[in-house]
Each structure stands twice: as structure tokens, then as C-alpha cells.
Structure 1
Amino acid sequence: MLQFDEETARVLEDAYQGADVSQRRRATFDALAPAPGDRILDLGCGNGLLTLELSRAVGPSGHVTGLDASPQMLDAARQRLQGRANTTLTEGDAARLPFEAASFGKAACLQVFEYLTDRRPALRALHKVLTPGGLLAVGDMHWDTLAWHSDNTNRMARMLEAWSRHMAVRDLPAKLPAEMHSCGFEILKTQPLAVCDTTLRPDGLAMMMIRLIRAYAVDIGATDKDDAAAWAQEQEELAQEGRFFFSLTHFVCTARRL
């Protein structure tokens, strides 16, 4: 697992709460339309940002349960959710949810499924813990929509190929509706959300990805530190010259449990 220095950790935290990533959370939030009294599962809750936002919406009569496989992420979520009596955090696996049948009326799953080689066990587990008619909103990137300018196209291709190794599937939004249908869900809609950055915003998704990809490519031995640094430096220079361009599309698939 990558270890981040203090500066990288700050950049990541800025990005998590910046406009690009906040819009992705908001798209999932809006798809679920949380209401007072709702009981919601946030599957893969990470650092708890969506869990917190949902907990505000369901109010004291509702409840939001966050589940994540990472103890480190759950520690961050606990700090964020301090004092929120209508939230619970649980460590667990997406395919083996530790909840009773029909425990939740709604479930969110934001950027989790693209890391699963087989999504059906998790979908069947979600089907079990949702009430009949319950809503499921799954948000993930379609990585084949990524457009990222570089004057050194070979190096860019090499860096992005290295990054692709951290995910199980690049085109999840194209595969997911059929997989959800096969696990007992009725697809309601698939909503795209395009992220486009032409300035390299300090709190943007592109800035966060530069930090992550640079470290990850070196960590897995796909390139050396000098090559990765040169790639990142080029992006900074392109931004200074007014030639930076980054675009990636996120999709939210909303379904009803049959």
C-alpha cells in the first residue's frame, strides 16, 4: 500500500472536498434522494464524507451505516463522524455484508466496484440487505473516457498503463447495468458526470491523480522516480502555458431492488 507524505496527504484531502470529487458524491446523494427517517448503507464509505452528508439528510430519525474494508479509512471516518449519533461504522467485506436481510431502504456504493473482479457476490449481498423496492446507487469512473493531454504521448501512455493496474475493470459503467439486472435489480437510469479541468486546479481530480499516479508507478516498478517526476513536471508546465487539458467521465447507475 502506498504511504503518503504530509504534503501529498494534504493535496488528497483538498481534492476529496474539492469541487470535482464533491460533485461525484453529490451525484450519488441526489440519486438516492435521502429523506428524514431513511436507513442507508454507505458501502465502501472510505473517510466518511458521503456518510456524513447522508446522515445530515436523514436526520435523527434515520440512520446511516458505513462499511469499509480498510481500518485506516474507518479511523478517518470515525474522526469525521464524531458526535453523529445516527451513524454506525463497520469493518467488513462487500461480498459478505454483516447485516440482517432487509436492513436498509437505500444503499450507496461510490468508486468501489471498479476494484472488484467479480461484482455479483457484492450485488447479491446488497440485494439481500435492501428492502423490496429499495434503491441502490453505484458510482464509478469509465476509465476509457479519460482524455489527458501531453506533448510526450509515449510517456503519458506508460504512466496511464501503470495506473490501470490498480483497478479490476476499466469500463465498469458499461458492464454494471447487466450485472445488476442479473442479481435482481431493475435499472432506473445511468447518469454521466463529466469532470473537465483546463487549469490544473489545486483541489481538482487531476491534481490528485498526478500525485497518486506518480507514486504508484514508481511503487510498482513501472518507471523510476526521475521519469515519474518529469511526467508530473510537464503537467505543471502545461498548466502554466495555458495548455493543460484533463477530462474523465463518472457514471452513477441507479437501480431498484426487485
Structure 2
Amino acid sequence: MSTTLGASRPDQAAYMLRAAAGGAGRAYKQELLDLLDVRPGQTVLDVGCGPGTDLPALADRVGASGTVIGVDRDPAMLAEARRRTDGLPAVEIREADAHALPVDPGTADRAKIDRVLMHVADPAAVLAQLHLATRPGALIGLAEPDWDTLAVDAEDLGTSRAFTRYTTSDVVRNATIGRSLARHAEQAGFVVETVLATTPVFRDFQDADHTLGLGRNMQQAIKDGHIDEARGRRWFAALSEGPFFASFTLVSVICSR
């Protein structure tokens, strides 16, 4: 892989599928699904289902008598989700914004939102919609990163810190939603049952560059005047030479309705 800054932004469906397939992605997703305790015959709502990463596993758990509703607003994501779930009659794909969920009140026995609240305009409004869409006694799984905890090892620690600050302030809309996830859930009327923090670790530079956007976000930080160009390019080139380490904290919350 070239160490030239400014690689084009990856196809979002492919990006999400690759991130989910990595070791860290598989581990927390499996834990989240296990804690949701999805059972045969239930209705499960996957808000921001993206390319349908989790829909087949949810369909397997609800069985022939259950329903899985995947909601996303991106037509490209929905097209991939439909492709991945073709032949799974339990799965319904619906195009809508998370702020206006296309389900009747009290529809879902289980629901999940995975790395979606960090992007939305109003996380509280989305959780209020989720509260309306779920039944009393329902279980809800939430998972969000806290990008303020992004740590990238480099001899130039100052540039690593500047990169994290830029990611938090300019790249991700709600960059610290992970740390406040339990508070938001309680304020939406849910009862928080479990809070977990995991730390995805990246030892491979190319995987980290793909998932964390090291090159493309550094280029934007340089363009916006947050980081000196020569310094940013030296930092990125040094990272590519290895050995490499980066991590961040991902918070998962299980709550009940």
C-alpha cells in the first residue's frame, strides 16, 4: 500500500463489512448479540443496519417464526443488505432515517444500534424513537466508540495527539458518544443493565489506515490547517514503516425497556 496521503474514501459498504470481519469487530459484535438474548419468534430491529452485516445472524436466531427489520437511509447500503439477505424470509429491509423509524410503537422485542449514534444529528431523538418502537421488557443493545481515546503510537507523540484531537473535533460528529452512551440511554427512559468497554487493537498499518482513516484524515487535517504538512507526512510515513500500534475504546450498553 502506498504511503501517499489522500487515498480515496473507501466504498462505505465494503468498509463496514471489512471492519466487522476483523478480529476486534467480530469479538464485540458476537458479545453484543449474545447479550441481546434473541429468541425464536421475536421481532428484532436493527437501526442503521448498513450493508446487512448482522442481519443473517439475527435471522438465524429468530427462526422461521420471527422477524428482523433492518433500517438504513442509504440506498447503496440497503441494496447490499438486500443482496446479503436474499432468501431469508424473516428479514425485512426498510429505507428510513433513524430519527423517524418506520415501525409501529411497541413493535420490537429486541433492538440494536451499532456505531450509528456517532453520526446522527440528534442521538437523544434517535433513542427516543427507539424507546417508542420497543415493547415493555424489550432488550436494547447499543455500541459506540469514543474517539477521544484514539491512541496511535509514534515517536512524534505531539502529532498523534493532534490527529486524535482533529478526529474528535472535525471528523466524527458525535465523537465521544461512547462514554455518554449509558447516560443517554437512561435519559431516554431505558434501564441500563450492562456497560462494557473493549479496546480494539491494531498492529497492522494497512488495516488501521483503512479502518481509522489515518491517511485521508491526516490529509484533511493538513488542508484545514490543523497540522503542518511536512510534519503530518513524516508522521504518516513513519507509521507505515512499523512496528505499528493503535487502539481506541468501544463502549457497549445493554438496556431494557
TM-score > 0.5 by shorter chain: yes
Q: Distance in 1 between matches of 2:79 and 2:230?
A: 34
Q: Distance in 1 between matches of 2:29 and 2:65?
A: 23
**CA positional deviation for 1:16:** 2.8
Contact kept in structure 2, 1:218 and 1:224, CA below 8 Å: no
The one-character-per-residue Cα deviations of 1:83-127 (angstroms, maximum 9, x if unpaired) are 111101111111111111111101000001122353221111111
The one-character-per-residue Cα deviations of 1:10-29 (angstroms, maximum 9, x if unpaired) are 77644331211112321221
**Unpaired segments ≥5 residues, structure 1:** none
Q: Distance in 2 between matches of 1:90 and 1:195?
A: 31
Q: Distance in 2 between matches of 1:253 and 1:12?
A: 21
SS in 2 for 1:78: helix
In the superposition, relative to structure 1, how do residues 78 and 246 fare at CA in structure 2: closer, same or farther (>3 Å)?
same
User: What is the CA RMSD across the aligned residues, in angstroms?
Assistant: 2.7
**What amino acid sits opposite 1:170 in the alignment?**
A
**CA positional deviation for 1:168:** 2.5
Aligned pair partner of 1:37 in 32, 38, 41: 41
SS in 2 for 1:115: coil
The one-character-per-residue Cα deviations of 1:143-181 (angstroms, maximum 9, x if unpaired) are 232222011223323433332222223322332222222
Show the counterpart of 1:250.
250
**CA positional deviation for 1:230:** 4.5
In the superposition, relative to structure 1, how do residues 12 and 131 fare at CA in structure 2: closer, same or farther (>3 Å)?
closer
Q: Distance in 2 between matches of 1:127 and 1:5?
A: 33
Identity of aligned residues (%): 24
In the superposition, relative to structure 1, how do residues 37 and 231 fare at CA in structure 2: closer, same or farther (>3 Å)?
farther
Show the counterpart of 1:135.
139
Aligned pair partner of 2:28 in 14, 24, 30: 24
Aligned pair partner of 1:48 in 46, 52, 61: 52
Q: Distance in 1 between matches of 2:17 and 2:110?
A: 27
**What amino acid sits opposite 1:248 in the alignment?**
F
Show the counterpart of 1:209.
211
In the superposition, relative to structure 1, how do residues 218 and 146 fare at CA in structure 2: closer, same or farther (>3 Å)?
closer
The one-character-per-residue Cα deviations of 1:32-79 (angstroms, maximum 9, x if unpaired) are 121211210000111111122211221111111111121121122122
**What amino acid sits opposite 1:78 in the alignment?**
R
Show the counterpart of 1:186.
191
Contact kept in structure 1, 2:215 and 2:236, CA below 8 Å: yes
**What amino acid sits opposite 1:253 in the alignment?**
V
Aligned pair partner of 2:201 in 193, 196, 203: 196
Aligned residue pairs, count: 247
Show the counterpart of 1:162.
166
Q: Distance in 2 between matches of 1:176 and 1:50?
A: 21
Show the counterpart of 2:153.
149
Show the counterpart of 1:125.
129
Show the counterpart of 1:111.
115
**What amino acid sits opposite 1:95 in the alignment?**
H
Q: Distance in 1 between matches of 2:180 and 2:13?
A: 33
Q: How does 1:53-132 map to 2 (within 5 A)?
A: 53-132=57-136
**CA positional deviation for 1:192:** 1.4
Contact kept in structure 2, 1:44 and 1:112, CA below 8 Å: yes
Q: Distance in 1 between matches of 2:68 and 2:13?
A: 26
